[in-house]
């Protein structure tokens, strides 16, 4: 049953999570906290199940909200980029045919330079689980809204979801879990950067994915875990001593 299916977050569990940089502006490198990203996404999933089990209205909105947070993380999006998405913004990537029609995301409302128009960029899909989330939403769940426009996140009033609503959704789940008030939806974007770096993706690729003009900005976003740093250290030491280093 679609409505009872849990929208899982299979790539990382709470015990696997790395530091999340919880800042709402890209120029603030100081505010960092370590909290479990997966807990927030799992909690959003659980809310869908709870609402449905109690036979209450609102399961569709809860399902949408859980999907919104996963897409924010799955493509490393800013809040405005996220809320301005439309169904036509996803497309095929010939180099990744296994992702079907969700191989690349065209971001039309990227952060503008001072006085300039929104900057566009293409974000390649990298997480198979995120592709499945979008495919399910677009083909099976979103049609239940009977939206009259191609907005990806329609509301019950047939309008577009706003940034303030995204903030409220994240804050609600954060507070219900007892997480620090400093955490906001932007931490999902920071987590995306950190996890790609930890998983070995090229830093230039990550920089281009999130639309940073400067590598130094991407570096601010990256808060690698102590486990990751120890892995890198161990790898370097093993290589050194393997070749007779001292």
Per the residue annotation, which of 5, 111, 121, 172 is the catalytic one? 111
Look up 186 and say whether it is catalytic: yes
Per the residue annotation, which of 47, 70, 78, 142 is the catalytic one? 78
- DSSP H/E element including 217: helix 215-221
Using a 10 angstrom Cβ sphere, with 0-12 exposed, 13-18 middle and 19 or more buried, the burial of residue 75 is buried
Listed as own residue / partner, the contacts of 225-232 with beta carbons closer than 8 Å and 24 or more positions apart are 225/17, 225/18, 225/19, 225/198, 227/18, 228/18, 228/198
Look up 111 and say whether it is catalytic: yes
Pairwise CA distance, residues 102 & 90, whole Å: 5
DSSP state of 183: -
Look up 78 and say whether it is catalytic: yes
CA 186 to the chain's CA centroid: 9
In Å, what is the CA distance from 240 to each residue of 114, 229, 230? 47, 17, 15
Look up 212 and say whether it is catalytic: yes
Per the residue annotation, which of 47, 79, 142, 186 is the catalytic one? 186
Cα torsion 175, 178, 182, 186: sign: negative
Q: For residue 93, is it left (φ>0), alpha (ψ between -120 and 50) or beta?
A: beta
Per the residue annotation, which of 73, 173, 192, 221 is the catalytic one? 221
Tally of CB atoms within 10 A around 88: 10
Per the residue annotation, which of 7, 64, 174, 189 is the catalytic one? 189
Query: Is the distance from CB of 91 to CB of 106 less than 8 angstroms?
Result: yes
Catalytic positions: 78, 111, 186, 189, 212, 221
């Amino acid at each position: 049953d679609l409505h009872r299916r849990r929208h899982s977050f299979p790539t990382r569990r709470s015990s696997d999570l790395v530091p999340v940089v919880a800042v709402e502006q890209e120029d603030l490198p100081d505010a960092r906290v370590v909290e479990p990203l997966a807990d927030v996404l799992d909690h959003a999933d659980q809310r869908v199940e709870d609402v449905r089990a109690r036979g209450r209205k609102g399961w569709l909105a809860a399902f949408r909200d859980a999907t919104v947070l996963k897409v924010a993380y799955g493509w490393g999006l800013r809040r405005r980029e996220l809320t301005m998405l439309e169904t036509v913004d996803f497309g095929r990537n010939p180099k990744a045919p296994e992702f079907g029609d969700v191989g690349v995301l065209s971001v039309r409302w990227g952060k503008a330079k001072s006085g300039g128009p929104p900057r566009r960029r293409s974000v390649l899909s990298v997480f198979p689980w995120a592709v499945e989330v979008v495919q399910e939403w677009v083909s099976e769940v979103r049609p239940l809204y009977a939206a009259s426009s191609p907005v990806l996140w329609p509301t019950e009033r047939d309008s577009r979801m706003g940034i303030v609503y995204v903030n409220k959704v994240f804050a609600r789940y954060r507070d219900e879990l007892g997480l620090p008030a400093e955490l906001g939806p932007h931490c999902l974007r920071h987590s995306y950067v950190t996890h790609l770096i930890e998983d070995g993706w090229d830093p230039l690729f990550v920089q281009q994915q999130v639309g940073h003009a400067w590598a130094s900005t991407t570096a601010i976003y990256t808060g690698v875990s102590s486990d990751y740093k120890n892995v890198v250290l161990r790898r370097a030491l093993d290589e050194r001593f393997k070749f007779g280093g001292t």
